Structure 1
Amino acid sequence: MAPTRRLAVVYNPMKVEDLDADRGVVAAACRRHGWEEPSWIETTAEETGEKQGRDAVEAGADVVASLGGDGTVRAVATALVGTGVPLGLLPAGTGNLLARNLDLPVDSTESAIEPLLTGSDLPIDVGFVSADGDPEEVFLIMTGLGLDGEIMAGTSERVKGVLGWPAYIVSGVSKLWGRGFAVRVAASGGSGVVGSPSGSPSDRVRRHARTVIVGNCGTLQGGLELMPDAKVDDGVLDAVVIAPRGAVGWASVVADIATRHRVGHKRLDRMRGGEFTIETARPIEAEIDGDPIGACRRLDIRVDPQSLLVRHG
């Protein structure tokens, strides 16, 4: 019987070290498992993956794989939400955070292509975020503002190319002592503040904070579990509002995160909800899945439960 399954690979040429080698590995695996010869679609500075993903779906692809950084993954996923066509993950770039949170291989194309072709489809939640009333954008990992936005905006592609994900640490250390901001975070459709110091759940937090992060996943680079209870398929989003004071405050926050919140810290609030509104008194640097989007004063965030399929081992 002639092969009927089709794989399309949307790749970012700036993130792929050896395209010919990757093509060879993927083509050989497709032949081995009875798939058609894969198609390869290149991204550009203007079209970063969403259009290419839609074109692949229209052409009849059974799986559309992303080969690029986390930004390429997000762009391709945007095209696949609600289509029933699964997203495949091939490692490239410095983060590969969605694959890491799903315990998929990230060390090589050889290890990642096997579960992509032979695995099952996992339905995961998708986050949507609007900054200052702009059109919604998809996020799969995390979005937020404050220190995380400053770090992403301040980390150069050149340094990331040399250091990999530790480049974010270098950028973060230089920004750790920046001034905070007044913020109000409101949650709905969930349990509100989890383990609040007052002992009573609330759906609102007001703080002079340093960063606010809302996540669909909980694990950052280096295996740091910022939100250990976050699950990609539970229908809710998790959030942290971090408001340390000085070096001692930061040390307490680090201890809280390192112990999966067993130590506890009264300047770190954790929240859960299906929708979040984050409002600040002045424009604050923001990011979506590690991509800086500039300064804004409001983020409106919601979850679309299990609306994206991911090919999983």
Structure 2
Amino acid sequence: MSDIRQSTAAVIYNPIKVDVDVLRKEIVRAAADAGWNEPIWLETTAEDAGQGMVEEAKQADVDLVIAAGGDGTVRAVAEGLRGSQIPLALLPSGTGNLLARNLDLTLNDMPGSVTAAFTGKDRPIDLGVIDIEREDGTRERNVFVVMAGMGIDAKMIKNTDDDLKKRAGWLAYLGAIVKSLRDPAELHLRYRLDEGRTKRATAHTVIIGNCGSLPANILLLPEAVVDDGQFDILLIRPGGLLGWIRVWAKIAWVNGIVRRTKSGRALAGEQKDDGDLKYRTGKRFVARLSRAEEIELDGDGFGKAAAFNAWIEPGALTVRVPGDDR
């Protein structure tokens, strides 16, 4: 009788974001309970947020990758796992937990999240892929699981004090928002959506979203679905202070609260353009800016982009989520 191969998980963790001793105790327990081998432990570094660790995990022929860290760790691990069919399990850590929020995962139950990693089911979701062109003409490719953005949101991230963010979480962004809103510069871009004609636009912010829920009950893209095979795109251009108040009311109140219930969605009606917010959907979004602008992916700054080419890859990432009996 041949031996039955035991499964093995790789844990890719950011030591700054997690309590390694607590994490190790919980994961070793859950792996043993599930009849799995001792996990492989791979620590991220300042130079490598997770992509290199994924390659090590692949070479070890693991059956599961567990990401324990912030949004940057999750994004980097997802980039490494793109198209591999190896499931990714999330252990929410840090301030944002963007993908976990959009998958409706529990954010504050480490033992439960660990157990679900070994006993849950697999769910294919889409990945955003983006080629960023720099001012000098060089290009680099990255992925994002939640959204990419230029304009106010990218400037906000650049203006946020990292030390304050560690202490105060998302409250640290408030001062950065105020500083960013004082910047009168707008984005001037030529863009093409799918196979449509090239258009011109002026906006304060451009968001390309795979899913749309953010911390603080903000639902930025209310109709975005993580596995529908398309982007939801938002162009924001409010007119003055009243315009920003309208934008905030629509995003924080109408989207963030009213649209979260079935009756509320019926009351709010269809998502529609107005003078401040313009929504689009598509599979590919190509844009060139009049000047290089800050760009962010999943809440992390990625420097300045003179142009970009973003597209959706349906089902390119497999995520381990709790089973139906949770």
Q: TM-score, normalised by structure 2?
A: 0.87
| TM superposition shift of 1:206 | 3.3
Give the conservation status (yes or no) of the 8 Å contact 2:194–2:283. Answer: yes
The answer on 1:238 being equivalent to 2:232 is: yes
2:307 maps to a residue whose letter is: R
Q: Secondary structure at the match of 1:136?
A: strand
Provide the residue aligned with 1:12 in structure 2. 14
- Give the equivalent residue in structure 2 for 1:192: none
Map 1:197-208 onto structure 2 (within 5 A).
206-208=200-202
For residue 174 of structure 1, the aligned residue among 168, 176, 179 is 179
1:292 to partner: Cα distance: 0.7
1:169 Cα deviation from its structure 2 partner: 2.8
Match of 1:259 in 2: 254
CA offsets 1:108-160 (integer angstroms, 9 cap, x no match): 32121122111111001111111115121111111121111101111122111
Amino acid across the alignment from 2:17: K
| CA offset digits 1:193-220 (Å, max 9, x no partner) | xxxxxxxxx8765332111010111111
The amino acid across from 2:146 in the alignment is: I
Q: d(CA) in 2 for partners of 1:2 and 1:23?
A: 25
Comparing 165-174 and 240-249, the one that deviates more:
165-174
**Match in the other structure for 1:228:** 222
Query: Which residue of 210, 217, 220 corresponds with 2:211?
Result: 217
Q: 2:191 aligns with which of 185, 192, 205?
A: 185
Q: State the distance in 1 between where 2:158 and 2:149 align.
A: 13
C-alpha change, 1:225 and 1:137, in structure 2 (3 Å) is same
| Residue in 2 that maps onto 1:301 | 310
Q: In structure 2, the residue corresponding to 1:130 is in which secondary structure?
A: strand
Maintained 8 Å contact 1:3/1:35 = no
2-structure distance, mates of 1:117, 1:224:
31
Find the partner of 2:140 among 135, 139, 144. Answer: 135
Distance 1:295 1:85, change over 3 A: same
1:285 matches 2:315: no
2:262: which partner in 1? none
Task: Give, in whole Å, the separation in 2 of the partners of 1:49 and 1:253.
Answer: 36
Alignment size in residue pairs: 300
Residue of structure 2 in register with 1:147 after alignment: 152
**Partners of 2:315 and 2:306 in 1: how far apart?**
29
Matches of 1:242 and 1:185 in 2, distance apart? 15
Q: What value does the CA root-mean-square deviation take over the aligned residues?
A: 1.9
d(CA) in 1 for partners of 2:254, 2:192 = 26
Q: 1:31: how far off?
A: 1.5
**Are the aligned partners of 1:253 and 1:265 in contact in 2 as well (CA < 8 Å)?**
no
Cα distance change, pair 264–302 in 1 and its aligned pair in 2 (3 A): closer
- Alpha-carbon distance between aligned partners in 2 of 1:127 and 1:114, rounded to the nearest angstrom: 28
What percent identity do the matched residue pairs reach? Answer: 39
Cα separation, 2, equivalents of 1:250 and 1:205:
25
Instruction: Measure how far apart 1:3 and its partner are.
Output: 7.2
1:272 to 266, 281, 292: 281
Query: 1:21-100 residue pairs with structure 2 within 5 A?
Result: 21-100=22-101
Contact 1:3–1:36 at 8 Å: present in 2 too?
A: no
Asked whether the equivalents of residues 57 and 64 of structure 1 are also in contact (C-alpha less than 8 Å), the reply is no
- The answer to whether the 8 Å contact 2:31/2:38 transfers is yes
**SS of structure 1 residue aligned to 2:7:** coil
Residue identity opposite 2:283 in structure 1: G
> Would you say the 8 A contact 2:147–2:208 is kept in 1?
yes
Q: How far apart are the structure 2 equivalents of 1:268 and 1:6?
A: 47
Q: Quick check: 1:143–1:215 contact (8 Å CA) kept in 2? A: yes
Gaps of 5+ in 2: 260-267
1:95–1:165 Cα contact (<8 Å) kept:
yes
Contact 1:12 1:43 in 2 (8 A): yes
Structure 1 residue 306, shift from structure 2 partner = 0.5
Instruction: State whether residues 3 and 34 of structure 1, in contact with CA within 8 Å, keep that contact through their aligned partners in structure 2.
Output: no
Structure 1 residue 242 displacement after superposition: 0.2
**2: distance between equivalents of 1:118 and 1:259?**
37
Q: Provide the secondary structure at the position in 2 that maps to 1:165.
A: helix
